[in-house]
């Protein structure tokens, strides 16, 4: 059984075009090749090429990695993924931290005297 890959949207294709343009502009300055980018991302060169050429869609994780490697903001090549990342950040940052959730009993009064004795 063969499943056809869903075609990329116009927005995804534009993201890929912007990403590739940034890569082409910065690769010499940063000493990058598709192979070195692939190594940093833990994938093959063909996978990076597929992202740059709009064959495979970018996701938030790959966009964040590529932004770090290219020393740019995700928003420079994908405003929609940048929004998605920001919304994830907001959802995580709204959660109470574990430290504020668990308070240990205090056995000393404000004066420093042991309350238990």
CA 56 to CA 60: how far, in whole Å? 13
**pLDDT one-digit tens code per residue, 5-14:** 889 999 999 9
pTM of the model: 0.76
Q: Look at residue 95 in the predicted model and tell me its pLDDT.
A: 59
Backbone φ/ψ region at 54: left (φ over 0), alpha (ψ -120 to 50), beta = left
Rounded Cα–Cα distance for residues 78 and 11 (Å): 9
The superfamily CATH assigns to domain 10-94 is lambda repressor-like DNA-binding domains (1.10.260.40)
| Angle (CA) 69 74 79, round 5° | 160
Residue 115 · residue 109 · CB < 8 Å: yes
pLDDT digits (tens, 9 = 90+) for 43-90: 999 999 999 999 999 999 999 999 999 999 999 999 999 999 999 999
Judged against a pLDDT cut of 80, whether residue 103 lies above it is answered with no
Give the up-direction half-sphere exposure of residue 62: CA atoms within 13 A in the CB hemisphere. 20
Domain boundaries, the chain: 10-94
pLDDT at residue 108 in the model: 53
Report the pLDDT value the prediction gives residue 39, as an integer from 0 to 100: 98
């Amino acid at each position: 059984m063969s499943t056809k890959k869903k075609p990329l949207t116009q927005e995804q294709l534009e993201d890929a075009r912007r990403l590739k343009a940034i890569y082409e502009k910065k690769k010499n300055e940063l000493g990058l090749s598709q192979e070195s980018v692939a190594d940093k991302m833990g994938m093959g060169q063909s996978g990076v090429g597929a992202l740059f050429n709009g064959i495979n869609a970018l996701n938030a994780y790959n966009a964040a990695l590529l932004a770090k490697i290219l020393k740019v903001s995700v928003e420079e090549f994908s405003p929609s993924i940048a929004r998605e990342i920001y919304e994830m950040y907001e959802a995580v940052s709204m959660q109470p931290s574990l430290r504020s959730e668990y308070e240990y009993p205090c056995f000393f009064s404000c004066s420093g005297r042991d309350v238990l004795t």
